[in-house]
Amino acid sequence: MAGIATDFAVLGTGSCVPDRIVSNEEVGAPAGVDGEWIVRKTAIRARRWAAPEQATSDLAVAAGRAALESAGITAGQLSLIVVATSTPDRTQPPTAAYVQEQLNAVEAAAFDVNAVCSGSVFALSAAESMLARRGGHALVIGADVYSRILDPADRKTVVLFGDGAGAMVLGPADGAGGRGPRARLRHVALHTFGELSGLIEVPAGGSRQPMDEAALDAGAQYFAMDGREVRRFVVEQLPQLTKQFLHEAGVAPDDIAHFVPHQANGVMLETVIEDLALPRVTTHLTLETYGNTGAASIPLTLDAAARRGAFRPGDLILLAGFGGGMAAGFALLQW
């Protein structure tokens, strides 16, 4: 299509976490574990939880504003807003509609993506494809408020999750204007393993099982995870999928300078990172202080690294998301 870019870059990043810091002792006590156990099993020392009046869209709007500021563009220049979340404000309308309204992004089409913890990479891919036809700029946001769907007595889940949002502005790689850092989007790959969809779920609240009294009595409103099988999936699948992705992208493992993974569990990531065999890589983590922030974790961590000046021109950055679905998403950026 004449006049529309086919090469896109992340032009700015932003993030937002709630003010409330929740310690390991606070989440561990109802679950029957102590802070030392949580650190040993997860490497997480704290997380942020939303205030009672805060919803997913509130965090998303704040992260979006920060990303727009970083990119040096206004909300009025957006043609698209994509929000990746599995904890929307409501089942209807899309959380992205609230974000569009609050940002006054009147020219932007807005919709949600739910690929759970891989959602931000899926949303980035969707935005790239749509911009190739629509033109303009996209605001891609990963945002989740998991604290609302956690069973306080379930030590497998309640100790892991925090709330937050991360955002990226995607636009023409060679476009004029803007002042933020530029990271060219080189390659994206998405995978879904639907046969494993039962490993991570919130059983009630949809058309399969309405949120009725029986569901509440059974605790079916809570996030549920088969931790052992999820770990097996990540440890077995992520290294081989990563190697496949790098081969498809035409880069060698020692070309990768930075690794920004989904911040699932620090102990599990240690095993995965070793198996990836990326000899020159610096791995960026925020889970020690923010926990697992779901779809927010990759853009939030990317923003934290960018703001502390971790990237240099030419650096290749590998983003890797994985989670419910089961799903995995990869993106290669070049700073």
Give CA–CA dist 118/322, Å, rounded.
Answer: 5
User: Other C-beta atoms within 10 Å of 84: how many?
Assistant: 35
Give CA–CA dist 84/186, Å, rounded.
Answer: 21
Q: Confirm whether 2 is domain-assigned.
A: no
Looking at the structure, tell me whether residues 202 and 276 fall in a common domain. Answer: yes
Looking at the structure, tell me whether residues 194 and 161 fall in a common domain. Answer: no
Cβ 15 vs Cβ 164: under 8 Å: yes
Q: Which helix (H) or strand (E) holds 143?
A: strand 137-145
Give CA–CA dist 259/253, Å, rounded.
Answer: 11
Give CA–CA dist 122/73, Å, rounded.
Answer: 23
Residue where one domain finishes, among candidates 140, 172, 204: 172
265 among known catalytic residues: no
Looking at the structure, tell me whether residues 198 and 304 fall in a common domain. Answer: yes
Catalytic residue, candidates 114, 117, 137, 284:
117
Looking at the structure, tell me whether residues 313 and 167 fall in a common domain. Answer: no
Looking at the structure, tell me whether residues 145 and 187 fall in a common domain. Answer: no
Facing residues of 188 across strands?
331
Looking at the structure, tell me whether residues 54 and 161 fall in a common domain. Answer: yes
User: What is the structure's pLDDT at 174?
Assistant: 79
User: What is the structure's pLDDT at 2?
Assistant: 39
The pairing of strands 163-172 and 137-145 is antiparallel
Reported as half-sphere exposure (CB side, CA atoms, 13 A), residue 2 has a value of: 0
Residue where one domain finishes, among candidates 126, 145, 172: 172
Looking at the structure, tell me whether residues 208 and 61 fall in a common domain. Answer: no
Closest CA to 256 of 274, 240, 276: 276
Number of domains in the chain: 2
User: What is the structure's pLDDT at 127?
Assistant: 96
Q: In which domain, by residue range, is 88 found?
A: 8-172
Global pTM reads: 0.93
User: What is the structure's pLDDT at 189?
Assistant: 96
16 among known catalytic residues: no
Supply the CATH number for residue 288's domain: 3.40.47.10
Looking at the structure, tell me whether residues 193 and 126 fall in a common domain. Answer: no
* Residue type, position 282, single letter: T
> CB under 8 Å to 144, separation ≥6 — which residues?
56, 85, 86, 87, 163, 164, 165, 293, 294, 295, 296
User: What is the structure's pLDDT at 318?
Assistant: 98
Q: Confirm whether 243 is domain-assigned.
A: yes
Looking at the structure, tell me whether residues 193 and 166 fall in a common domain. Answer: no
User: What is the structure's pLDDT at 3?
Assistant: 46
Residue ranges in the chain modelled with pLDDT below 70: 1-6, 175-181
Looking at the structure, tell me whether residues 18 and 117 fall in a common domain. Answer: yes
Residue where one domain finishes, among candidates 125, 146, 172: 172
User: What is the structure's pLDDT at 182?
Assistant: 84
262 among known catalytic residues: yes
Looking at the structure, tell me whether residues 108 and 228 fall in a common domain. Answer: no
